[in-house]
Structure 1
Amino acid sequence: MQCPKCGSQSIVKNGHTHSGKQNLKCRDCQRQFVMAPRHQPISQETRELIDRLLAEKISLAGIARSTGVSERWLQYYVNRKLEAVKREVQVKSKKKGKLTIQCDEMWSFVGFKGNKQWIWLAIDVVTKEIVGVYIGKRDETGAHGLWDSLPAVYRQCACSFTDFWSAYQRVFPKKRHQSVGKETGKTSYIERFNNTMRQRISRLVRKTLSFSKKLSNHMVAIWYFIHDYNARLSIE
């Protein structure tokens, strides 16, 4: 027998665990352990795989089955992971100049379909980065939230294309804002991203059993996907 921490063979018996297994103790480093423990430490490779799977349309039960971890440990791990998610966009720094964004809002719900939560989004036409995010009501407050979520350089320089929803016209600067129809193709990137989100986030599928029960969980799941999406763009 060897100590799993220091590799010493100076091992002595040290009573039994609550499950009746023989408890062992290393005389050199004082580490206590059992032989063939039922619960093995989760490797870094498995954790990294779970991080990637969280950005796909897979349930937690499905991730647990695929990776071999327990659902209880996975829920604890995911809760801690999502608590650390920042609720602000992280994009490459841009110089002041000609910038173009497309904006749109998509419908979602929390708990039941009557509790609508609109996801306001803005995408950079050149880099395809998501540069603005707000989750809330589909009114002027939502348009203000989207505008405030944009990095300063976009609020100062960017020209924006949106649909004809009146809230945009009241909030966005008139000289740098244009309302357009879908037939123009000037909102095609953001509309395609809306479809990507519905394909990749099970909570956003219109007819689903995976919808969020809490608004906080709904929001961090969306933010987690957007951070992962932007990070992958920078790698590519």
Structure 2
Amino acid sequence: MSPLICPSCGSQKIVKNGRIHNGKQNHKCRACDRQFVEAPQQKRIDQRTKALIDKLLLEKLPLAGIARVCDVSDSWLQQYVNHKYATVPYKRRTSRQKKGPLTIQCDEIWSFVNDKSNKQWIWLALDVATREIVGVYVGERSEHGAQQLWTSLPAVYRQCAVAYTDFWNAYGCVFPSKRHKAVGQETGKTSYIERFNYTMRQRVSRLVRKTLSFSKKIANHIGAIWMFVHHYNESLHD
């Protein structure tokens, strides 16, 4: 039998390195760390499988689990997810158009990217009447974060809405004082947005408090959040 040769550097210093998703032997080059399988077979991923993956990305499943369920490679799935999240629009698709009395609830929840020292706060605003998420910002928990949430709101909300929030002082520094109401949980005035936060933590695996599915790239982290927000808003009208 001919010795295995690394397809990258030509070295024959090859060792076995576990198996890939379909059980085929994986190899690793000791010279350049390239991993490869012998006589690989290119597998075309059909649209049906991609549609299933899109649905599974909205559930509390790690990428490794999705790869096993859909019988695709980890590397292909990661590339697909990177592209998917990069093309998610960072803009709300909401039904509210006309001016009039509006009420929103706002809150921020903690998350992280790569490790817990890299905190990323998810700022959200919810229309009480339609239950739609109408404002989103991911970043620092500061006055700047509150400003970005305010800026993310459609103009009709910035002009007309009364906003109920917790007592985090950044809101009071940014939101117009006549239309900002800081309240405690016991009032129930922020119950809808708090409920949405629980739903998002349960559905988006990278937001579960104790998980190995945390985001390693900020772009994917934000893309996953926006993808869920779009799905949630659209589901309200199904």
* Partner in structure 2 of residue 154 of structure 1: 157
In 1, Cα distance between the equivalents of 2:98 and 2:146?
24
1:234 is paired with a residue whose SS is coil
- Shift of residue 161 of structure 1? 0.4
* Partner in structure 1 of residue 221 of structure 2: 218
**Counterpart among 62, 66, 74 of residue 63 in structure 1:** 66
* Partner in structure 2 of residue 79 of structure 1: 82
Q: 1:114-129 residue pairs with structure 2 within 5 A?
A: 114-129=117-132
CA contact (8 A) 2:205 2:213 kept: yes
Gaps of 5+ in 2: 1-39
User: What TM-score, normalized by structure 1, do the two folds share?
Assistant: 0.80
* Partner in structure 2 of residue 168 of structure 1: 171
Over aligned residue pairs, what C-alpha RMSD do you find? 1.5
What is the aligned residue count?
199
Q: Which has the larger radius of gyration?
A: 1
In 1, Cα distance between the equivalents of 2:206 and 2:76?
22
2:236 is paired with a residue whose SS is helix
* Partner in structure 2 of residue 195 of structure 1: 198
1:186 is paired with a residue whose SS is coil
**Counterpart among 135, 138, 145 of residue 138 in structure 2:** 135
| Matching of residue 181 in structure 1 with residue 184 in structure 2 | yes
In 1, Cα distance between the equivalents of 2:218 and 2:189?
31
* Partner in structure 2 of residue 90 of structure 1: 93
Deviations 1:118-163 (A, max 9, x none): 1110001111111001111111001000000001111111111001
In 1, Cα distance between the equivalents of 2:221 and 2:180?
30
* Partner in structure 2 of residue 53 of structure 1: 56
Gaps of 5+ in 1: 1-36
User: What TM-score, normalized by structure 2, do the two folds share?
Assistant: 0.80
Output the amino acid matched with 1:147.
W
* Partner in structure 2 of residue 206 of structure 1: 209
CA contact (8 A) 2:163 2:181 kept: yes
